[in-house]
């Protein structure tokens, strides 16, 4: 299993006390599998994705990614996991504004020591970014920025790609194109893909979908 989450609990402190968001979630993702995680706003989809990425810590339960127990890792260990095994795509793109498109594209792979010049060039070509490589993110449209973010997530050939509403900030047509590119590239690399999305159309294009409601998978 690429991802194996067992009985995951997570709550957040509010003025009215602890607010439980996840109440014993179990989730698995196999190698090469694509999985959509859907649910209402505030259902805890993004929280679960962040827990799997090691961006936050579980209150209870276990999560392992590529066999590594995320819940047992310290900050450095979780950073190493994200660096070496996980590619992440956000709704807000989160590119580094002071780096060029090319530098952003290869940044994660370089960080992981897995830079592959030929693969980076192929990614740039397939993502339609070849002519924008010397530009800066602010000079690109939203769709183009998200393609850079997808390229960055895949440049290091990670075992698993986590995407949080990757088309949420894009218009329908651009969203379609970006989603297709993401799916094609993930399949070509053989990575697993977990996508948090509101879009039923995107969810239906994936191998499997699970729905999160009231803190549990339906």
Partner 1 sequence: MRELRSALSALLSHWRRRPGQFVTLVLGLSLATALWTAVQAINSEARSSYDRAAEQIGGADRPTLEKADGGPLSMRDFVRLRRAGWLVTPVLEGRLQRGRVILRIVGIDALTSSVGPLEFGGGSAETPYDIGDFLGENGVALAAPQTIAELDGVPDLPRLVAQADLPPRTLTVDIVAAQRLLQRPSAVSRLVLLDPQTEAAAPLEEVAPDLKRVDPQTGQDLARLTDSFHLNLTAFGLLTFAVGLFIVHGTIGLAFEQRRVMFRTLRVLGVSLAQLMTALALELAALAILAGTFGVLLGSVIATLLLPGVADTLRDLYGAQVSGALGWRADWWASGIAIALLGTAIAAAGSLWRIRSMPILASAQPRAWAMASSRTLLLQLVCGIGFLALAGVVLILFSGLVAAFIIIALVLVGSALLLPPFANRLLDVGQSLVGRFGAGAVTQWFWADTRQQIPGLSLALMALLLALAANIGVGTMVGSFRTTFVGWLDQRLASEFYVNARDAEQGERLQAWLKERTDAVLPIVEIEATLDGRNGAIFGVADHPTYRDNWPLLQQVDGVWDIVARGEGALVNEQFARRSELSLGDPIEASGLPATQVVGIYSDYGNPAPQVMVGLKQFSELFPQVPQQRFAVRISADRVEELKNAVSSEFGIEERSMIDQAAIKQLSLSVFERTFRVTDALNVLTLAVAGFAIFTSLLTLATMRVPQLAPVWALGVTQRRLAVLELARTALLALLTVVLAVPVGLVLAWLLLAVLNVEAFGWRIPMQVFVSDWLRLGLLALLAALLAAAIPARRMAAMAPADLVKVFSHER
Interacting residues with partner 1 (CB under 8 A): 50, 53, 55-56, 75-76, 78-84, 88, 90, 92, 94-99, 103, 107-108, 110-113, 136, 152
d(CA 154, CA 189) in angstroms, rounded, equals 8
d(CA 178, CA 11) in angstroms, rounded, equals 33
Cβ closer to partner 1: 110 or 198? 110
Q: Write down the residue that tokens 């970006």 correspond to.
A: 178
Cβ closer to partner 1: 59 or 84? 84
In the complex, the smallest distance separating the C-beta of residue 191 from partner 1, rounded to whole angstroms, is 16
What DSSP letter does each residue of 59-91 carry, written as one string?
A: SEEEEEETTEEGGG--HHHHHHHHHHTEEEE-T
Q: Write down the residue that tokens 């993110």 correspond to.
A: 137
Cβ closer to partner 1: 43 or 203? 43
In the complex, the smallest distance separating the C-beta of residue 111 from partner 1, rounded to whole angstroms, is 5
In the complex, the smallest distance separating the C-beta of residue 70 from partner 1, rounded to whole angstroms, is 13
Cβ closer to partner 1: 108 or 203? 108
In the complex, the smallest distance separating the C-beta of residue 29 from partner 1, rounded to whole angstroms, is 19
In the complex, the smallest distance separating the C-beta of residue 97 from partner 1, rounded to whole angstroms, is 7
Q: Please tell me whether residue 191 adopts helix, strand or coil conformation.
A: coil
Cβ closer to partner 1: 30 or 99? 99
Question: For residues 30 and 52, is the Cβ–Cβ distance under 8 A?
Answer: no
Alpha helices, DSSP H, located in the chain: 45-53, 75-84, 101-111, 117-126, 142-155, 172-189, 200-204
d(CA 105, CA 85) in angstroms, rounded, equals 17
């Amino acid at each position: 299993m690429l991802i194996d989450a067992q009985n995951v609990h997570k709550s957040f402190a509010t003025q009215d006390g602890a607010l439980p968001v996840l109440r014993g979630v179990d989730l698995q993702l196999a190698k090469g599998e694509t999985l959509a995680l859907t649910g209402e706003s505030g259902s805890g989809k993004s929280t679960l994705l962040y827990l799997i990425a090691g961006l936050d810590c579980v209150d209870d339960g276990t999560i392992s990614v590529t066999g590594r127990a995320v819940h047992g890792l310290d900050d450095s260990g979780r950073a190493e996991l994200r660096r070496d095994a996980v590619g992440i795509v956000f709704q807000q793109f989160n590119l580094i504004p002071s780096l060029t498109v090319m530098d952003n594209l290869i940044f994660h792979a370089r960080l992981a020591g897995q830079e592959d010049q030929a693969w980076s060039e192929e990614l740039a070509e397939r993502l339609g970014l070849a002519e924008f490589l010397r530009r800066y993110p602010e000079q690109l449209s939203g769709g183009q920025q998200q393609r850079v973010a997808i390229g960055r997530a895949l440049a290091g050939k990670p075992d698993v790609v986590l995407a949080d509403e990757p088309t949420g900030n894009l218009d329908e047509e651009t969203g379609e194109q970006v989603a297709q590119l993401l799916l094609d590239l993930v399949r070509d690399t053989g990575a697993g893909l977990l996508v948090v999305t509101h879009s039923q159309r995107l969810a239906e294009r994936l191998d499997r979908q699970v729905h999160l409601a009231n803190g549990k998978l339906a």
